[in-house]
Amino acid sequence: MDSNTQTASTGLLRWVTTTNHKDIGTLYLIFSFTMFLVAGLMAMIMRAELYQPGEHLMNADFYNQMVTLHGLIMIFGAVMPAFTGLANWMVPLMIGAPDMAMPRMNNFSFWILPVAFGILLSTLLMKGSAPNFGWTFYAPLSVKGPASTDYFILFIHLSGISSIMGAINIMVTIMNLRAPGMTYMKMPIFVWTWLITSYLLIAVMPVLAGVVTMLLADRHLGTSFFNAAGGGDPRLFQHIFWFFGHPEVYIMILPAFGIISEVIPTFARKKLFGYSSMVYATGAIAMMSFFVWAHHMFTSGMPLEGALFFMYLTMLVAVPTGVKVFNWVATLFKGSLTFETPMLFALGFIIMFTIGGLSGLMLAIAPADFQYHDSYFVVAHFHYVLVPGAIFAIFSAVYYWLPKWTGKMYSSVLSQTHFWLSAISVNLTFFPMHFLGLAGMPRRVPDYSLQFVDFNQIVSIGGFIFGLSQVFFLFVLYRNVTKGTPVGAKVWEGAHGLEWTVPSPAPHHTFDQPPLLEQEAD
Amino acid sequence: MMPHHSPLIKRSILAIIMMFAFSFCMVPLYNALCKATGIDGKGLLQQDSQYTAGIDVSRLITIEFDSNVQPSLNFLFYPSTKKAKIHPGEPYTLYYHMNNLTSDLKIVQAIPSVAPPVGSKFIKKLECFCFQYQDFYPYQSLMMPLRIVIDPELPSYIHTLTLSYTLFDLSSHS
């Protein structure tokens, strides 16, 4: 990158003032991995406490703070910025744009994040306690929450503003800066999924901002949005929150679908099966996400007609998702498969995300949900779609594009060790949680009955191995930078797309002239 | 560069403002929907003093009476009967006992809620203390009447209704 650097500042200030999409993408990815380790450490603290029944290492209140911060940081600090970072790095390269549409806003939207998370983490040092009501901050618990709840509200506002600015930037880049001849239906799938994700972000992040604003008003301005004593309704909170919350879970998985749809064709050496059905399926999932929110609330009470409506609509989401899984499998079918590290993570994604999807269908059944609700079964479900789902897809993307970023190939032995350690330990961690939940262990508890000890110890050991495997990933990265072997422009011989036409490492400025699309037609 | 992007940016910002406003519109929407359909177990604050219906002697509905007090309010509040079995269409009267245990003048109101929620529109109130605010002098004690009829249209799968009141302190609001 050095030969091509044309920034005004050098040293650390370069990173603060940069408006280059590759620099900002790198910053996003480093930040998100840092937050991944921080929130992962909190998960380790929880698993240490849950290694044996009884309150040994911490009191219940500190445990609740760990639950809350782990969820908030993983969602808003690890998964979402990682996808935004990948979009920053790759979207301009994939559509042949010289940079993002609004480079200065890009810089601003990144640098809000460290401030927001500094505010959130500072609550751990405050008198009273950090937020301790879970990442869903249900009213009235959060209305009566500790004083640090106001910092939490500020954090949500800041990270929401950052997400919205990132989404506008990505959307405008995709819609306005595509290379001549790249029509919408010729865009790489990763770009498509991010375009749809940016619409979702613009639609629902303001709703999250609205609900925390109501919470703030209830806490300090004497309003009664959620306070029954003043004529409000705590259940209203759940409706508004999940109206944001359900599209939010698709925000965290649609870009992952895009990544897998890039990686699988490369290592199967076939074109993606059913490109247009992939696009329509992504759009359908995004649309449906607005009409299924109350499946999080079956036990909060709703009329039979409501429960049936949300139950059937939720099950319907499995149709476009099934189309995607079918297309991936059909792409693999009769392909010339090789199992490089990105492919391993992608295959792991398909298998384990499907497990998470199936437990999601079980939870969608309203009468069954009364049994599963607030049990470890739910924890198993959403960790299966988020860890071997979203996070494996992010690792797949990183291993897929890392040689493009650093210009060097990583060690296949080390990276595959990282994959196998992660894949085995992730199942060791989250699969027994299904059984714990079905046997009746409630979630968000620091203590449990004696019959759950064995499975909890397996889960904790699996969790520690998974945590250490991610530290090992740092070593893989270090060895890549120090000892990697140089690669050419086209890193993977089965890969297609404009990003493989620029040299590796990608120069600081690319596509100053729009590329000719014909060269890439195959 | 910017003029080229500005229509799209303006539309996005407009969408963001509209969605932020929409989140607040969900409050009256939710309340209107709940009131129209009676699905939240509330909406029982209107009086049906003229309501009459034929008595359906073929069914006997168990009705349970429950009472709660807002935690910060030092009041005694309980019904004269915890449970009764009545025929739909048959008026039933009971009393709620309220006692201000504080040395302050208190304005309170009891807010009803029904389980299962769909049952709420089938409980008709001929007379209820919950229709208005109640002023309580320090240590004052009162017996408040409640006279109800169960609508014979009550769905046949409902055998038990629970009518719960929560007493709220409105002194600071008035």
pLDDT digits (tens, 9 = 90+) for A445-476: 999 999 999 999 999 999 999 999 999 999 99
pLDDT grade for A301, boundaries at 50, 70 and 90: confident
Query: Which of B12, B114, B157 is the best residue to mutate to test the A interface, defined by the most A CB atoms within 10 Å of its own CB?
Result: B12
The number of C-alpha atoms within 13 Å of A16 and in the hemisphere containing its C-beta is 6
> Residue A489's CB: how many other CB atoms inside 10 A?
13
Among A99, A218, A262, A340, the one annotated catalytic: A99
Please state, rounded to an integer, the average pLDDT across all residues of chain A: 94
For A155, A214, A231, B46, the CA distances from A223, given in Å and listed in that order, are 21, 8, 10, 24
Tokens of A16: 């603060």
Q: Is B39 on the interface with A (CB under 8 A)?
A: yes
Residue (of B161, B150, B41, B158) closest to B87 by Cα position:
B150
Task: Tell me, rounded to whole angstroms, the distance of Cα A417 from its chain centroid.
Answer: 23
Helix (H) or strand (E) holding A30: helix A21-49
Report the C-alpha gap between A293 and A204 in whole angstroms.
12
Query: What ipTM is given for this predicted complex?
Result: 0.90
Residue B2 is predicted with a pLDDT of 46
User: CA torsion angle for A204, A209, A211, A215 (degrees, to 10)?
Assistant: 170
Strand duo B160-169 + B106-115: pairing: antiparallel
Q: Is the pLDDT of residue B1 over 50?
A: no
Q: What average pLDDT does the segment A126-154 reach?
A: 94
A378 pLDDT higher than 80: yes
**What SS3 string covers chain B?**
CHHHHHHHHHHHHHHHHHHHHHHHHHHHHHHHHHHHHCCCCCCCCCCCCCCCCCCCCCCCEEEEEEEEECCCCCEEEEECCCEEEECCCCCEEEEEEEEECCCCCEEEEEEEEEECHHHHHHEEEEEEHHHCCEEECCCCEEEEEEEEEECCCCCCCCCEEEEEEEEEECHHHC
Q: Are strands B141-150 and B92-100 parallel, antiparallel or unpaired?
A: antiparallel
Contacts of A233 in chain B (CB under 8 A): 30-31, 34, 40
Residue B174: predicted pLDDT: 56
| Local structure of A375: helix, strand or coil | strand
State the Cα–Cα distance between residues A522 and A207, nearest whole angstrom.
43
A302 touching B (Cβ < 8 Å)? yes
Q: Is residue A172 within 8 angstroms of chain B, CB to CB?
A: yes
Question: What confidence tier does B9 reach under pLDDT thresholds 50, 70, 90?
Answer: very high
Instruction: Report percent pLDDT > 90 for chain B.
Output: 38
Q: Are B106 and B171 in contact (CB under 8 A)?
A: yes
Q: What is the pLDDT of residue B169?
A: 85
The alpha carbon of residue B162 is apart from the nearest alpha carbon of chain A, in Å, by: 15
* pLDDT > 60? residue B121: yes
Each residue of A415-426: pLDDT tens digit?
999 999 999 999
In the numeric block, the tokens 């509330």 are attached to B42
Q: Rounded to the nearest 10 degrees, what angle do helices A376-385 and A412-438 cross at? A: 150
**Once rounded to an integer, what is the mean pLDDT over residues A357-375?**
95
Query: In chain A, which residues have their Cβ closer than 8 Å to the Cβ of B1?
Result: 101
Between CA A223 and CA A419 the distance in angstroms is 51
pLDDT digits (tens, 9 = 90+) for B19-73: 999 999 999 999 888 877 767 666 566 677 777 778 888 999 999 999 989 878 8
Rounded to whole angstroms, the Cα distance separating A28 from A398 reads 13
Q: Is A324 assigned a catalytic role?
A: yes
Say if the Cβ atoms of A239 and B27 lie within 8 Å: no
Domain boundaries, chain A: 2-520
Cα–Cα dist B66/A200, whole Å: 44
Q: Specify the pLDDT at position A392.
A: 98
Query: How far apart are the C-alpha atoms of A14 and A309, rounded to whole Å?
Result: 53
Q: Does A269 qualify as catalytic in the annotation? A: no
Query: In terms of CA atoms, which chain B residue is nearest residue A243?
Result: B23
Considering CB atoms only, which of A176, A202, A233 is closest to B40?
A: A233
Check A209 against B23: CB less than 8 A apart: yes
Amino acid at position A173, single letter: T
Cα–Cα distance between B126 and B118 in angstroms, integer? 19
Q: Is A157 a catalytic residue?
A: no
The question of whether A434 is a catalytic residue gets the answer no
Could you tell me what percent of chain A has a pLDDT over 90?
Answer: 90
Task: Tell me which of B148 and A341 has the higher pLDDT.
Answer: A341
pLDDT band at A363, cuts 50/70/90? very high
Instruction: Give me A436's structure tokens.
Output: 């714990």
| Banded pLDDT at A308 (limits 50, 70, 90) | very high
pTM to 2 decimals?
0.90
Least confident segment among A165-169, A403-407, B94-98: B94-98
Terminal Cα distance for chain A, rounded: 30
CA atoms within 13 A on the CB side of A257: 32
pLDDT at residue B8 tops 50: yes
pLDDT over threshold 70, residue B7? yes
Homologous superfamily of the B61-173 domain (CATH): Ctag/Cox11 (2.60.370.10)
Mean pLDDT is lowest, of A65-79, A373-387, B129-143, B149-163, for B129-143
Cβ atoms of residues A203 and A163 within 8 Å: no
A99 is catalytic: yes
**Catalytic status, residue A321:** yes
Before A140, cis peptide (omega within 30)? yes
Chain B touched by A130 (CB under 8 Å): no
**What is the per-residue pLDDT across A82-104, written as a single tens digit (0 to 9) for each?**
999 999 999 999 999 999 999 99
Model confidence at A142, pLDDT cuts 50, 70, 90, reads very high
Domain A2-520 sits in CATH 1.20.210.10: yes
Closest approach of chain A CAs to the CA of B87, in angstroms?
Answer: 24
* Residue from A21, A22, A270, A296 carrying the catalytic annotation: A296
How far apart are alpha carbons A371 and A435 in whole angstroms? 13
Q: Which amino acid is at B46?
A: Q
**Residues in chain A within 8 Å Cβ distance of B26:** 236, 239-240, 243
pLDDT tens digits for range A157-170: 999 999 999 999 99
Which residues from chain A sit within 8 angstroms of residue B13, using beta carbons?
A: 168
Alpha carbon distance A478, A474 (integer Å): 6
- Residue B4's pLDDT is 81
